[in-house]
Amino acid sequence: MHDTRTIAVMEDIHGENDRLAEQVNHTLTHKRVFVVNEMGAPGIGKTTALIHLIDRITRFSPCVIEGDIESDLDTQTLTGLGVPARQVNTFGACHLDAPLVADAVLGFDFGAVRGGRDGVILFIENVGNLVCPAEFSIGEHIKMLVCSVTEGSDKPYKYPLAFEKADLVLLNKVDLAPYLDFDEAFFMKGLRALNPGAPVIRCSSKTGEGFGEAASVLESMAATAFLDGGLAGDPA
Ligand SMILES: Nc1nc2c(ncn2[C@@H]2O[C@H](COP(=O)(O)OP(=O)(O)OP(=O)(O)O)[C@@H](O)[C@H]2O)c(=O)[nH]1
Ligand SMILES: [Mg+2]
């Protein structure tokens, strides 16, 4: 049971976080940096999906903040491929928050990342977790949820917030669907009850299916965010 003091503290924590997230978003928008908060359970394919997306994004320059409880393995993978990436460790916390991201963005020279392109897409891979990341804004323009046929089709019913808040859903590992009993109609029914509009794209990092379409959706969303931020007519 919550008492009123607990609720007041939680409101303060979220209020502080949301104010900083808004500042981060405002600052980055004006640098033509579009921020994607990538969420999903551990091992669902978040890093592999980023590699495929980054390969297919042509209009904008990509960079990545990797969020993990410990280790910099995903950052090593990305920098090994030439992707500008920085690691954030939470050392126990199960999600990223705005203060952690605000510190990490200081490590990027976005002008250099952008090069001659139309802007930057900053992907922030959140800590692998289907619950807590959905509760905290980190300055993102959109939340991209990676889920998978290996999780089971009941996840929108059991973990509703992440599905409700997603602006783009990647249904990953569809190459494995023939070997599983994933009920896609049941999954979509649960998802659509929470979230009628978000694009849902079937993907596979094994075959590359879906990532071209996802990259082009992300590029359109970035272009719209810059227009909405009053940044039309600012090509390279
Ligand atoms: N069959 C199949 N395997 C995949 C696919 N995508 C990712 N994997 C595998 O799933 C495992 C985990 O992938 P990652 O990209 O590291 O997953 P992650 O969500 O970044 O993991 P954490 O950062 O630890 O939460 C790896 O062995 C990938 O090769 C896919 O579409 N199909
Ligand atoms: Mg990862």
Please report the pLDDT score of residue 60 as a whole number: 97
CA dist 73 → 38, 66, 158, 172 (Å)? 17, 9, 30, 21
Ligand 1 pocket: which of 68, 71, 172, 205 to mutate (most atoms <8 Å of CB)?
A: 205
- Specify the CATH number for the domain of residue 116: 3.40.50.300
Please report the pLDDT score of residue 231 as a whole number: 75
Could you tell me if residue 118 is inside a domain? yes
Three-state SS at 99: helix
Q: Considering the chain, what percentage of its residues have pLDDT values greater than 70?
A: 94
Q: Identify the band that residue 203 occupies on the pLDDT scale cut at 50, 70 and 90.
A: very high
Number of compact structural domains in the chain: 1
Q: Is 51 in the pocket of ligand 1 (CB under 6 A)?
A: no
Please report the pLDDT score of residue 234 as a whole number: 53
The pLDDT tens digits of the residues spanning 42-76 come to 999 999 999 999 999 999 999 999 999 999 999 99
Please report the pLDDT score of residue 232 as a whole number: 67
The pLDDT tens digits of the residues spanning 168-191 come to 999 999 999 999 999 999 999 999
The pLDDT tens digits of the residues spanning 107-117 come to 999 999 999 99
Could you tell me if residue 235 is inside a domain? no
Tokens 């392109």 correspond to what residue?
117
Please report the pLDDT score of residue 230 as a whole number: 79
> What distance in angstroms lies between residue 215's CA and the mean position of ligand 1's atoms?
18
pLDDT of residue 91 exceeding 90: yes
Tokens 């690691």 correspond to what residue?
87
Three-state SS at 89: strand
Which comes out higher in pLDDT, residue 36 or 13?
36
Could you tell me if residue 236 is inside a domain? no
pLDDT of residue 229 exceeding 90: no
Please report the pLDDT score of residue 73 as a whole number: 98
Q: Both tokens of residue 30?
A: 């004006």
Three-state SS at 9: helix
Could you tell me if residue 119 is inside a domain? yes
Q: Is 173 in the pocket of ligand 1 (CB under 6 A)?
A: yes
Q: Identify the band that residue 236 occupies on the pLDDT scale cut at 50, 70 and 90.
A: very low
The boundaries of the domain holding residue 10 are: 4-228
Please report the pLDDT score of residue 188 as a whole number: 98
Length of the chain: 236
Could you tell me if residue 233 is inside a domain? no
Could you tell me if residue 106 is inside a domain? yes
Ligand nearest to the CA of 85: 2
Q: Return the amino acid letter for 162.
A: A
CA dist 105 → 80, 101, 115, 123, 136 (Å)? 20, 6, 17, 11, 17
Q: How far apart are CA 18 and CA 136, in angstroms?
A: 8
Q: Minimal CA–CA distance to 210: which of 39, 26, 11, 55?
A: 55
Please report the pLDDT score of residue 139 as a whole number: 97
Helix axes 73-80, 46-56, angle to 10 degrees: 20
Average model confidence (pLDDT) across the chain = 94
Could you tell me if residue 115 is inside a domain? yes
Q: Is 25 in the pocket of ligand 1 (CB under 6 A)?
A: no
Q: Is 42 in the pocket of ligand 1 (CB under 6 A)?
A: yes
Q: Minimal CA–CA distance to 53: which of 187, 43, 45, 137?
A: 45
pLDDT of residue 193 exceeding 70: yes
Q: Is 205 in the pocket of ligand 1 (CB under 6 A)?
A: yes
Please report the pLDDT score of residue 13 as a whole number: 73
Q: What radius of gyration do the chain's Cα atoms show?
A: 18
Cα end-to-end span (Å), the chain: 54
Three-state SS at 190: helix
What H or E segment, with its residue span, contains residue 14?
helix 4-30
Which comes out higher in pLDDT, residue 173 or 7?
173
Q: Considering the chain, what percentage of its residues have pLDDT values greater than 90?
A: 89
Q: Is 206 in the pocket of ligand 1 (CB under 6 A)?
A: yes
Q: Which residues pair with 218 in a beta bridge?
A: none
Q: How many CB atoms lie within 10 A of CB 179?
A: 9
Could you tell me if residue 29 is inside a domain? yes
